[in-house]
A and B are shown apart, each in its own frame.
Chain A
C-alpha cells in the first residue's frame, strides 16, 4: 500500500490554521513572545510561543481539547473527508503527563468532536509523541484497521510544564535560536494533524495527495532521563531505520526538519546524528529548525514541524531557522538561516523528534508516489513471559474465575539486574523492569553488544507513576512552581518508566508508551506487532502492560505488570513459541468477530480494574494455555478507546 497525505491542520503560536501559520512564516513572523497568560516573574524565562486569538485565548475548560479539535477538523476538511466517511482512526500524540489522568479519555473526546469512527490510540513519548503517532497511523492503514487516519498531536503550555523545563535549566531567557549563539529552548503549544489514506482510495475520491508517507521509525537512547545521548547514536538509528522502512538511500534525503530545540546538548548531538546517518564528511542535506518560530510545542511539535515541511515542499521552499546570528560550534554553519523560507526543491524530507527518556522518532515524506512495492508485512511470533501479580496471588492460584485486587509486593532491583542503581525508581518502573527482564530471559534472549540495537520495549499503560505524580504536585504545593522538583518533573511523561528500563538494560532498538485506556495492555501487542512486521532492524519487542495503584483508587483495583516478547521468527530466542495475529482493532465497544476455531478469553476477566496490567496478564495467560493445549485462543478487550482482538495459536499450527 502507498500511504498518501491528503490533509493537514494546525493550531500554533502563528495562528489558528495551517494557512495562517504558513503566511506568518512567509512574512518572517516569529511566534515566540512574552508570555502573558500566566505569571513568569519567578521563572528563568518570560518567553514562550503561546496560541493567540480571541477564540482560543479565552480559558475554555480544556485548551488542549480545543486545539486538537480545531486542528483535526481543519485536516479533515482539507482532505475533503465527508461526514459519513467509513472507519476514520485517530492517533493522538500528547505529553500532558502532569494534568491528565486518563489520556484515552482525551482521545475519545477529540474523536467524538471530529467524528472519528475508528480506533483511537494515544502515543505519549513526551516531545516525540506526534511523530510516532503519524507513523502508527500508517500502520493502522496498512493492516486494514482504518480507511483513513487522522494522526498528529496536541499539547498546551501549562505553568507547571513551563516551570519544569525552567527548573531543568534548558529554557532560553530570550527567543531560542537553534544552532546559533543563544543557548536554550523556547516552549510552545498547539496542535497539528495530518490525514493519511491509501493512495488508491484518495485517487478514487479524486484527491491529489500533498505528499506520501514513505517511512518512519523510533529508537531508544538508553542514556538519560532528560538529556540526549551526546554522540547522537540514538537519533542516527531512528534515521537509518526510517530509511530502511522507506527503502531509500541516505542520498535521497534533500531536507531535514530537525528537532532543533536550541539547547546545547540537543543541537550538537542531533547534528552529529544527521552528519553520521545522512552525510558524508562535511556534506549533509539542508537542515532547519521550525522551533525557531513555533517554539517547542512538546507533543505537538513533530506534527506541526512536519506540516511546515509539507507546506514548504508544496511551494518549492523550506522553512527557515529564525533568530540565527552566528553559527554555534558543532552545529550546521547555515541552517537555512533567515526570516523567510528559502527556495529548495525537496523530493524527500525527514522530520526528526527526540524526547525525555531518549525516545527518538523520525518520519519521511516524499513528493512523488513511491515506486517500490512494499512486501506484505511478515507474521509475528511471541515467546517468553514476565509477571508481577498483586501480593496475595501466585500464578498457580489463577483459576478461571479468579479476580485479582490489591498492590504488588515491592520489586527488589538487585534481583532484577546486577549493578542497577535503585535510587528513586517508582513502583511502575520497578515492575516494568522485572517483567521485561523475566520475559527476555525466558525467551532465551540477551541484551548485549549489538543485540542491544535489535530489541525494543513497548509499554501499555494509562498514566504515569502515581507516586511520582504525587511527588511532583507535592513539591509545587510545598515550595511553589519556581522550585518544583525537577527529578519528579522528568517522570511526568508516560514513557518515563519504559525509558528508565531501556537505560537499565541497555535496550536501544525502540521505546514507546501507548494508551488506549483499559485496553492498553492488549492494544500494545497489536501496535508492537505492526511495528515489528515492518522494521527488520529489530529481532524482538518486549510488550508489557503495567499499572501502579494510586492512593485514591477504588478497592477493587489491581497492581501489577505482565510482558511477553514479540519475535521476528521462530529462530529468534528459544522456548515455547506462539503465533500472534491481530484480527480486530476498532472503536471501543465494536463487535469482535471471533474465529470459530479459538476459545475466547476476555482481557477484563482476571483484573478488571487494572490499567494496562489486565490486558498484559490476559495475554500471558493465554500464551501459557496455548502452549499447554496446542489450541488457539482469541484474547479480546472492548474497553477504553479501542476494541482489540488478538488470536494466539501454536506456532506453525495455522495452515492456509
Chain B
C-alpha cells in the first residue's frame, strides 16, 4: 500500500467519524433522542424499536441534514434507503453533503 493510498484511507475514516458525530448531535439536539451522543450505535435503526423516530421526525431529520450539513438529495428514491440506520445517514451525508474535504 502506497503512502498516498494509506493517507487517503485514514482521511476517509476521519471524515466518516466527523460526520457520524455531526449526525449523532442532530439526533440528540434536534430530534430529542434521549441518549448521550456517543452512546448511539451507528447501526441502530432510526425508526420503530430502534431510536423510535416516526414519519414526522423523518421530515425534520431531512431538513436538519440539509440546513446543517448541506445535504442535497438529487433523487427522492434515495431517501428511504438512506434512512434506515445512523450509518446509512452518514453514507448519505458523505455522498450528497457539503463535507469539507
Contacts and interface: CB of A to CB of B under 8 A. Distances in A.
A167 B32 contact: no
Interface string B20-44: 0000000000011110000000000
Interface in A224-261: 224-227
Contacts, number: 39
A421 interface: yes
A424 B67 contact: no
A133 B66 CA distance: 41
Nearest to A169: B59
A470 to B, nearest CB: 14
A64 to B, nearest CB: 26
Contact of A424 (B32, B55, B59, B63): B32
A424 B31 contact: yes
Interface residues of B, number: 14
Contact of B63 (A225, A226, A422, A485): A485
Contact of A483 (B31, B33, B56, B66): B66
Max count, chain B CB within 10 A of own CB: residue among A167, A421, A424, A479: A424
Nearest to A485: B60
B81 interface: no
Interface string B42-61: 00000000001011110110
A422 B55 CA distance: 17
B57 A422 contact: no
Contact of A487 (B34, B52, B56): B56
A423 B63 CA distance: 19
A490 B67 CA distance: 20
Contacts of B66: 483
Nearest to B33: A423
A486 interface: yes
A422 B32 CA distance: 9
A226 B34 contact: no
Contacts of B32: 423-424
B56 A423 contact: no
Interface string A146-176: 0000000000000000000001110000000
A483 B55 contact: no
A297 to B, nearest CB: 23
Contacts of A485: 60, 63
A490 B55 CA distance: 12
8 contacts: A168-B56, A168-B59, A423-B32, A424-B31, A486-B56, A486-B59, A487-B56, A487-B60
Interface of B: 31-34, 52, 54-57, 59-60, 63, 66-67
Please give me the 5 A-B residue pairs with the lowest Cβ-Cβ distance, nearest first: A424-B32, A486-B59, A483-B63, A421-B52, A487-B60
Given A169-B59, A227-B55, 9 more contacts: A168-B56, A168-B59, A225-B56, A421-B52, A422-B34, A423-B32, A486-B60, A487-B60, A490-B56
